[in-house]
Amino acid sequence: MSAPAFSGSRRLLASLRDVMAGSGTAQARLDKIVRLIAAEMVAEVCSCYVARPGEVLELFATVGLNPEAVHQTRLRVGEGLVGEVAGTAKPMAIANASTHPKFAYRPETGEDPYRSFLGVPLMRGGKVRGVLVIQNQKSRDYAEEEVETLLTIAMVVAEMVAGGDFGGREEVAASEGGGTLPTRLAGIALNAGLAIGRAVLHRPHLTVRQMVADDPEVELARFREAVAHMHSSLDDLVALTRDSGLDEERDILETYRMFAEDRGWLARITEAIGTGLSAEAAVQRVRNDMQARLARVSDPYLRERLADFEDLANRLLVNLAGKASIADSGTLTDDVVLVARNIGPAELLDYDRRRLRAVILEEGSTTSHVAIVARALEIPVIGRCASALGVIEPMDEVIVDGDNGQAFVRPSEDVLDIFQQAIELRVRQRRSFAGMADLPAETRDGTRIKLLMNAGLLIDLATLETSGAEGVGLYRTEIQFMVRSTYPDVAAQTELYASVLDRAGERPVVFRTLDIGGDKTLPYFFAPDEDNPALGWRALRMGLDRPAMLSKQLRALVRAAAGRRLEIMFPMVSEVAEMDAARALLSRELRRAERMGVPLPERVAVGAMVEVPALLWQLDPLLDRVDFIAVGSNDLLQYVFAADRGDPRIAQRYDTLSPTFLAILRQIRESADRKGKAISVCGEMASRPLEALALIGLGYRRLSVSAPAVGSIKAMVRSLDGGAVARFMAHAIVSTGHSIRPELRAFAKDHGVEI
């Protein structure tokens, strides 16, 4: 941006500051503001539209258009050029507005003569609060400097619109569902568990009291000091995780710290200060831009990295306000339920872990850094809980049901009693489960069930000893790839896999090779957009198309085993030919290791995931080529019923206890038994007691479950008569009904099975 543009921006900002600090109603000040902008930017028209409840934009002030249209002209978000700016949260500059396909004519405004159009969103707190527009009679291309200047001005106006008395604050609260009545919020489960506590709203959007700077050099110095303080505090957090041995948290924070040192976004803030904004306003301006980008990004990994940026911007604002951390901005209760739009891993670790009971996020995903850290801390988390910040008030009592992805705000006494009893029951169950950790998972009639656990982080293996699991039936190797900013080389992978084997000791570990693609993306690996990523380029398909990537992982696994047993499982095998190709790569790596004098594994066992229905017609030749198979019930279910489990409209439509699906599971087990090959189930189905009961009735004797589920599954097994459930299942799966769930639940109740 040129020097004159900086100068004009500063002059206009200074004038706006005087108007905002002056007397008069909010409406009168807004009228003055549009006149100032029109005069300074040489525009015949300047108009301000304010967002109203119901996705409506109302003309609140104008110079150049018919004044009688004020408070009369309304557009829906997405309607017309103004609605398009609000809907996309992006500026729009058009030389000839009337020819644009989104143009919507409003005769009452008298805008006919004005051809050129420049509109920018009023952004605050990640939401569009309105639209600021300038227009000219002549057709013209607005310069980039003009767009930037209007964006800067819009941020200042947004503060006034959000905080001014426009008669809309109560309406907005009502439209967002605020109130004192009990409320249930639905989301998705990011980390299981139950918790009750008082709401602490994570609102790091501190009020920026001075938008315009008197001296840009002073603001630059304040900004640089805040950046230095932020880097220092992150270094302290990384050191803390290094000293405590929390490997995943350290990896996440080191990736996060690298992002904090990126010069690109810091340079953009410096430029914004140069336009005349205060340091706080400049940070907020760049954050607003990022939030607008975030709203348009569909890639889950990129969304999480942009969320990390917002976390860093929040830390800068807190440092500029003179606070040590966001968690210091208020007094914490003893039982905190943290409520946030999104939150970064460093911000979460700022809160006292002894008081933090649960987290509710308006955004978030299972692959987010905060979800991974919360899992390590055993904190229930629910995400995608829309309007949580608009509904939950500070210190509201909140129940977080992380098992079912729901929260109860200001619950009634009876609901509170039910969940308190459930939490107390879980405490008693955990004590009971701990007492049976060393006991075998054996039915009352002597059938032995091998209980293994699923893992994906080193922190998961800390529970291997205490849970009573006999080993790791599924180690998801891709999670470590997802939390890093660069692809881990063979040495880094070898170190990780060796650590897993070290921590497992004598217990077996089954490593699943990379299952990336679909909804699991890597920041350093380009994958094309796909209409249906669940059926696209992922898992073994990607590995065989990129054999160097798969070979390096196999090489690291072979080196890590070094004299120990190595069990490798390939995901999403669709045909025997793919299994042959994967085994050929493994054989080549074993020969390479032998040639180079690298110690070989004591024994290598190779398995395949059965999750693609096409494989059911090649099971026998597949079983001839593997040592074991594992059923991935999650993907197999969605492929069998052609139902996307990520689509909330149909995710629950088809049941794992459907007679059709159960018949398929029995067929797979019978094929494995005929060939004398070990078979297990390692999807979510095995982690739920009622479904695990059905699997045992179908003849499955190996279950790999989530770590928290080991105790409940073992308790169910030890309360069960295996012969009785086998007889029940033989009759139940010939049903043509939707599901045998009610009948199986009744069987469990009648036979005293703990589910």
395-431 pLDDT, tens digit each: 888 999 988 888 998 888 888 888 888 888 778 777 7
Please report the pLDDT score of residue 456 as a whole number. 81
737 pLDDT above the threshold of 90: no
- Among the listed residues 125, 285, 289, 279, the one whose alpha carbon sits nearest the alpha carbon of residue 214: 279
The DSSP annotation for 99-149 comes to GSTT----GGGT-TT--EEEEEEEEETTEEEEEEEEEESS-----HHHHHH
Is the residue at 327 inside a domain? no
Domain co-membership, 519 together with 385: no
Q: Residue 676 is part of which domain span? A: 446-750
Residues 668-684, mean pLDDT to the nearest whole number: 94
Domain co-membership, 489 together with 399: no
Residues 14-25, mean pLDDT to the nearest whole number: 74
Beta-strand (E) ranges in 251-404?
A: 336-340, 356-361, 381-383, 397-401
Is the residue at 645 inside a domain? yes
Please report the pLDDT score of residue 268 as a whole number. 81
353 pLDDT above the threshold of 50: yes
443 pLDDT above the threshold of 90: yes
- Among the listed residues 146, 159, 132, the one whose alpha carbon sits nearest the alpha carbon of residue 47: 132
596 pLDDT above the threshold of 50: yes
Indicate the residue among 300, 320, 340 that finishes a domain: 320
716 pLDDT above the threshold of 80: yes
Please report the pLDDT score of residue 109 as a whole number. 85
For 92-108, give one letter per residue: b (16+ CB within 10 A) or e: bbbeebeeeebeeebee
Domain co-membership, 548 together with 536: yes
Is the residue at 326 inside a domain? no
178 pLDDT above the threshold of 60: no
Is the residue at 441 inside a domain? no
Tens digit of each residue's pLDDT (9 = 90 or more) over 624-654? 999 999 999 888 998 899 877 656 566 667 8
257 pLDDT above the threshold of 80: no
- Which residue's entry shows tokens 């000893």? 465
Domain co-membership, 453 together with 428: no
Please report the pLDDT score of residue 608 as a whole number. 96
Contact 672, 678 (CB under 8 A): yes
- Which residue's entry shows tokens 């998801």? 476
Residues 557-583, mean pLDDT to the nearest whole number: 95
489 pLDDT above the threshold of 50: yes
Residues 677-683, mean pLDDT to the nearest whole number: 93
Domain co-membership, 345 together with 268: no
Residues 231-240, mean pLDDT to the nearest whole number: 70
For residue 697, the domain's CATH number is 3.20.20.60
* Residue 62 tokens, joined: 């104008």
572 pLDDT above the threshold of 50: yes
Domain co-membership, 103 together with 218: no
- Among the listed residues 146, 91, 506, the one whose alpha carbon sits nearest the alpha carbon of residue 288: 91
The DSSP annotation for 518-541 comes to TTB--TTS-----SSGGGSS-HHH
Indicate the residue among 296, 320, 344 that finishes a domain: 320
Domain co-membership, 160 together with 294: no
Residues 587-599, mean pLDDT to the nearest whole number: 95
Please report the pLDDT score of residue 327 as a whole number. 54
Is the residue at 742 inside a domain? yes
- How would residue 739 be classed by pLDDT, with cut points 50, 70 and 90? very high
Please report the pLDDT score of residue 497 as a whole number. 93
Rg (CA), the chain: 30
Domain co-membership, 576 together with 697: yes
Active site residue 369: yes
Domain co-membership, 129 together with 147: yes
- How would residue 721 be classed by pLDDT, with cut points 50, 70 and 90? very high
Q: What mean pLDDT value characterizes the chain?
A: 82
Tell me phi and psi for residue 624, to 5 degrees.
Answer: -70, -20
Helix (H, G, I), strand (E, B) or coil at 361: strand
Tens digit of each residue's pLDDT (9 = 90 or more) over 90-131? 899 999 888 888 888 888 888 878 889 999 999 876 678 899
For residue 162, the domain's CATH number is 3.30.450.40
Is the residue at 672 inside a domain? yes
Greater pLDDT, 530 or 302? 530
Number of domains making up the chain: 4
728 pLDDT above the threshold of 90: yes
Greater pLDDT, 657 or 373? 657
Residues 208-214, mean pLDDT to the nearest whole number: 71
280 pLDDT above the threshold of 90: no
- How would residue 5 be classed by pLDDT, with cut points 50, 70 and 90? very low
For residue 224, the domain's CATH number is 1.10.274.10
Residues 576-601, mean pLDDT to the nearest whole number: 95
Please report the pLDDT score of residue 90 as a whole number. 86
- How would residue 554 be classed by pLDDT, with cut points 50, 70 and 90? very high
Domain co-membership, 67 together with 140: yes
Is the residue at 325 inside a domain? no
Distance CA 439, CA 235 (A): 44
Please report the pLDDT score of residue 509 as a whole number. 96
Please report the pLDDT score of residue 660 as a whole number. 93
Please report the pLDDT score of residue 561 as a whole number. 95
Greater pLDDT, 37 or 531? 37
CA 472 to chain CA mean position, Å: 26
Catalytic residue among 202, 682, 731, 738: 682
Greater pLDDT, 565 or 370? 565
Tens digit of each residue's pLDDT (9 = 90 or more) over 124-173? 766 788 999 999 998 888 888 888 888 888 888 887 776 655 544 444 34
Please report the pLDDT score of residue 8 as a whole number. 56
179 pLDDT above the threshold of 60: no
Active site residue 682: yes
7 pLDDT above the threshold of 80: no
Domain co-membership, 9 together with 129: yes
Indicate the residue among 414, 435, 456 that finishes a domain: 435
249 pLDDT above the threshold of 60: no
Domain co-membership, 183 together with 159: no
Catalytic residue among 46, 48, 369, 385: 369
Beta-strand (E) ranges in 486-587?
A: 509-512, 565-570
Please report the pLDDT score of residue 259 as a whole number. 54
Residues 25-42, mean pLDDT to the nearest whole number: 88
Please report the pLDDT score of residue 49 as a whole number. 94
Is the residue at 79 inside a domain? yes
Greater pLDDT, 581 or 52? 581
Greater pLDDT, 255 or 423? 423
Q: How far is CA 70 from CA 30, 36, 229, in A?
A: 12, 18, 47
Please report the pLDDT score of residue 287 as a whole number. 76
